[in-house]
Amino acid sequence: MPEPTLWLWLITLLSSLVASTVTTVTGVGAGLILYGALSFFMDLKVIIPLAAPAQLLSTGLRAWLFWPYIRWRLAGYLFLGVLPGIYAGTLLFEVLTEQLLRRLLGVFLLGFAAYELFQKRAQRRVPHLAWLPFGGFWSGVLLGSIGVPGPLLALIFLRYGLLKEDLVAMITLFFLVGNAQRTLLYWQQQTLLRESLGLAAAIGVMMLGGVYLGRLILPHVSRALFVKLVLGMLVLFGVQFLIG
């Protein structure tokens, strides 16, 4: 990991604040913004592990704020697949090269953006709960490997009719448990480095401010506008990862 300069600190802290604010409003975006901003200066093999402990603080606070909105029955089915998925994802992370990580991340982001932009808006049947563990498993694989399960989780929970506070609450619960597990796994697998912990702590503290800022914005700003902004970032960062 490069020695953090003043500019790197400023970009990192500003990106952390924006990422946490957007995530509190839309449920997704923290990993996308952090990876997109920091990948200009740092290797993704460093960024993805340090983001795990960094996001623990903010997800803990977000979980406390949105606790009344958590759908525990849905969560129970989801987490049947999440924990083994994260373990499989961290093992996959160990064998992926930095270049391959960039390409996979780029394809995933552009694919999700294209799906959201061009999907038909027809009414769909709510899937059976038995499908949730499968969605949880693949979300866990994405979190453990490329670190961005948010878009897939948003798709899953939207299909079950969750919106705004309910959607944010469920995705937050996933990240709270998931980031705790992958922090331990990355540390055990020695992909989370001791010298990264200071930067991770600074990101985490900055993200706390983003949680409160996003919580203030959420009741007053159209979620649809923020979704469009997130989709725009998906396209921007997806292209960056593919050509970078």
Percentage of the chain with pLDDT > 70? Answer: 86
| pLDDT tens readout for residues 141-179 | 888 888 878 777 877 887 777 777 788 888 889 989 988
The pLDDT, as a whole number, for residue 147 is: 81
Question: Between 233 and 36, whose confidence is greater?
Answer: 36
pTM here is: 0.75
pLDDT for residue 84: 92
Structure confidence by residue, pLDDT tens digits, 76-92: 999 999 989 999 988 88
pLDDT of residue 69: 92
Mean pLDDT, rounded, for 120-148 = 76
pLDDT band at residue 125 using 50, 70 and 90 as cut-offs: low
| Residue 155, CA distances (Å) to 37, 139, 167, 234 in order | 24, 11, 10, 15
Across the range 14-41, mean pLDDT stands at: 79
Q: Which residues contact 87 (CB under 8 A, 6 or more apart)?
A: 140, 144, 181, 185
Q: Which residue has the higher pLDDT, 241 or 21?
A: 21
Predicted confidence (pLDDT) at residue 123 exceeds the cutoff of 50:
no
Residues 173/228/109/200 CA torsion (nearest 10 deg): -50
Q: Mean pLDDT, the chain, as a whole number?
A: 80
Residue the block writes with tokens 């952390």: 16
| Over residues 112-118, mean pLDDT | 73
What's the pLDDT at 214? 83
Residue 122: the pLDDT is 45
**pLDDT level of residue 126 (50, 70, 90 thresholds):** low
Q: What percent of the chain lies above the pLDDT cut of 90?
A: 9
Sign of CA pseudo-dihedral 61, 65, 66, 70:
positive
pLDDT tens column, 187-232? 988 888 787 788 888 888 888 888 888 888 877 767 677 667 667 7
pLDDT at 38: 80
Cα separation, 47 vs 65, in Å, equals 27
- pLDDT for the residue 124: 52
Q: Evaluate if residue 4 carries a pLDDT over 70.
A: no
